[in-house]
Amino acid sequence: MGLKIQNGRIIDAANKLDFVGDIYIQDGKIVAFNDAPLNFQTDEVIEATGQIVCAGFVDLSVRLKNVAKEAAVAASSGVTSFCVQPDIKPIIDTPEVVKHLKDSAKSEQVHFIGALTQKLEGNELSSMLSLKQAGCIAMSNGNFPVKNLLILRRAMEYAASHDLLFIYRPNEFSLSNGGCAHEGAVATRYGLPSIPEAAETIALEQCLELAELTDCRVHFGQLSSKRAVIKLQQAKKYGLNVTADVSIHQLLLTENDVIPFDSNYHVVPPFRGIEDRDFLRAGLLNGTIDAICSDHQPHSLDSKLAAFPETKAGISSLESLLPLLLQFVDEGVMDLAQGLALLSAKPAKVLGLKTGSLAIDSQADICIFDPNLTWDVNADNWHSEGINTPFWGKTLKGRVTKTIQAGKVIF
């Protein structure tokens, strides 16, 4: 099948593309720009005048209830590849669970992260090699603690010996102690249980030491603090094989934006101070932080109805991923090409996926969006089963109009 996307603004920082023109797709791959290749037969034309055409987004951290349902939500958000964290139901700790979830997903978008320890209890290592053979793209203990540093060391040694990416969300649980807000002025004012910055930085420092000891390839997920960025920058300077991402909402919101009685602002790691946010932004610009993720966590209405500290942490954030990036760009922090690369080529590189860019002969995973289209976040426009978002009722700018995976329109 021959697909032509015409008159769109084609942007891809990985290949230094930024022009208005056409893309030709044949047999699931990009075959030409602007001039149709010899004997190309056009079966479908997508008109993209006034829109941006870029690589499909690659999301490093998604949690979900219904795999097939949320895969459709991802498609509507321009995401052509996403990683499901292991701390869902059922826990991704056996090859049988991986097979079941793959069968349920029925989508090439979905990649699964295997559990580092059995049942995520942090005591005994899972069979990581079996999980890799079943198709897991990386290993992690999600948001659950590993009981002690010896187990963490053994897990990293195992991952290194089988060339597995280890994804780690740094959080010293004894210090975070079930907190729900940043240890700062807002938590103090409203009497909210707090999480100090040290809960992140101490866990990060310990893992960096073990990464050097074990030669394990580590990706740090959802960093939130100034000091974590500084420590990671130093580690990269001295040659450690580490990468990191940040959640899109951490780049825009701080503790000052939190409405204490609105549990949609309850996230872990918590929204921190303005200086932390600014260091996260700087970390993206100087390459210390490698990618942006949605950290999508859809919850039922009941999960967010209790008092703020008693509710489940997390935001349903796939659908706000692109609009928040565009807001970030509009603030002049970075240009659009840089921002799109942090959602596509750079996370694809972290995972070792051959996607995330627009190159001749590459798989045609493409997002087309209207950067000026405004829409209201409400029940009529929201696709996810989770409506737990601090942006509910607000107007956002930028919306995906088409998502293409391997040359096939999936949204």
* 98-152 pLDDT, tens digit each: 999 999 888 889 999 999 999 999 999 999 999 999 999 999 999 999 999 999 9
pLDDT for 262-294, tens place per residue? 999 999 999 999 999 999 999 999 999 999 999
CA–CA gap between residue 152 and residue 168 (Å, rounded): 10
pTM equals: 0.97
In 3D space, the residue among 114, 93, 237, 99 whose CA is nearest the CA of residue 166 turns out to be: 114
**In the block, residue with structure tokens 């045609």:** 364
What is residue 105's predicted lDDT score, i.e. its pLDDT?
A: 85
How far does Cα 304 stand from its chain's mean position?
A: 22
* Interval 174-179 mean pLDDT: 95
CA–CA gap between residue 395 and residue 400 (Å, rounded): 15
Domains of the chain and CATH, by start = 2-52+363-409 (2.30.40.10), 55-351 (3.20.20.140)
What is residue 247's predicted lDDT score, i.e. its pLDDT?
A: 98
pLDDT for 45-77, tens place per residue? 999 999 999 999 999 999 988 888 889 999 999
pLDDT at 1 over 80: no
35 catalytic, yes or no?
Answer: no
Give the active site residue among 22, 295, 365, 370. 295
